[in-house]
Amino acid sequence: MIHSPTLTLESAMASLGHNSRLRLFSGSANVPLALEVARYLGIDLGPMVRKRFADGELYVQIQESIRGCDVYLIQPTCHPVNDHLMELLIMIDACRRASARQITAVIPYYGYARADRKTAGRESITAKLVANLITEAGASRILAMDLHSGQIQGYFDIPFDHVYATPVLLDYLKSKQLNDIVVVSPDVGGVARARAFAKKLNDAPLAIIDKRRQSHNVAEVMNLIGDVKGKAAVLVDDMIDTAGTITEGAKLLRDKGARQVYACATHAVFSGSAIERLSSGVFEEVIVTNSIPVPESKRFPQLTVLSTANLLGETIWRVHEDSSVSIMFR
């Protein structure tokens, strides 16, 4: 946590008054992560009642005064997406009606992000619809991590802080002291992400997998651009859903002579047959973060889950103190 090294009594009192307005609440989507963030900030999660009526309707009540406070609501919109999204909207509305000064929706994983444009006639751009819902509910600011596409920031007409789990993932990979690393993008669309990752990983070389998607969640690997023979290949993506794309990519890398294959992603969506594919032995290690909770039923020997709590906590502190967020990623 960043603090000023010297404070006069007057500035200390002003800072105390400013910080006392910070309130942190958690939805039901990822309470363990919210508790870690609260621990980093040195505060407690605010008391809140969440319950579900017999017909499935959700109920939220903030149980302390937040009038004039800067409220941060931690809620990834992960599975079940609709329930967690609706809970977030209700939390925002409750805070707005309780006269919070500013409401920041902290969304470690932004659901519906893949529906960010029309690819066929009569489709909804659901990522934009969700942005409208969150804004209309009363959010003042958004803090999200590793969006599927950066353009989603432009769907909001309120301040948006986009942070990256890259420092967390890079620190872990560097600690492994791997030799002859090549960073691999699992598709052409992820080249910019993989290139930035490779640059920060000691300017590692880059390879690209060219694939053609035949339908949703089904991918066919076609070709490899780059050399992976005898190298430790690190597949980098923003999320792992059914793991079809990244697993087929790993098999191709093995066929092309990679001595080890690592999967590295921020969001562990893990739908359908993902666990079976990821634990099949094609990966040396699957490295993800806790932006989405990973229950014991979805854990396997090759899985490593890294915490983003300090990253999110530091970002919240900087936003609250009106300090730069982007400097954290230089």
Q: According to the model, what pLDDT value does residue 330 have?
A: 78
Averaged over 234-251, what is the pLDDT?
A: 96
Three-state secondary structure call for residue 144: strand
In the CATH hierarchy, which fold is given to the domain comprising 166-306?
A: Rossmann fold (3.40.50)
Residue 153 has pLDDT above 50, yes or no: yes
Residue 260 has pLDDT above 70, yes or no: yes
Q: According to the model, what pLDDT value does residue 216 have?
A: 65
Residue 5 has pLDDT above 90, yes or no: no
Q: According to the model, what pLDDT value does residue 211 have?
A: 75
Alpha-carbon distance of 305 to 188, in angstroms, equals 26
Which position among 199, 200, 211, 251 bears the catalytic label?
211
Residue 93 has pLDDT above 90, yes or no: yes
Alpha-carbon distance of 34 to 44, in angstroms, equals 10
Averaged over 178-187, what is the pLDDT?
A: 95
pLDDT tens across 113-132, in order? 999 999 999 999 999 999 99
Which residue ranges make up each domain of the chain?
9-164+310-329, 166-306
Q: Of 77, 40, 103, 24, whose CA–CA distance to 311 is shortest?
A: 40
Q: How confident is the model at residue 215 (pLDDT cuts 50, 70, 90)?
A: low
Domains 9-164+310-329 and 166-306 share a fold: yes
Per-residue tokens: 288:
């993800």
Whether the CB-CB separation of 78 and 114 falls below 8 Å is answered with no
Averaged over 9-34, what is the pLDDT?
A: 75
Paired strand residues for 286 = 263, 303
Whether the CB-CB separation of 185 and 193 falls below 8 Å is answered with yes
Alpha-carbon distance of 211 to 248, in angstroms, equals 10
Three-state secondary structure call for residue 183: strand
pLDDT tens across 199-211, in order? 999 999 999 998 7
pLDDT tens across 278-289, in order? 999 999 999 999
Higher-scoring residue by pLDDT: 3, 38: 38
9-164+310-329 carries CATH number 3.40.800.10: no
Alpha-carbon distance of 267 to 161, in angstroms, equals 18
User: Is 211 one of the annotated active-site residues of the chain?
Assistant: yes
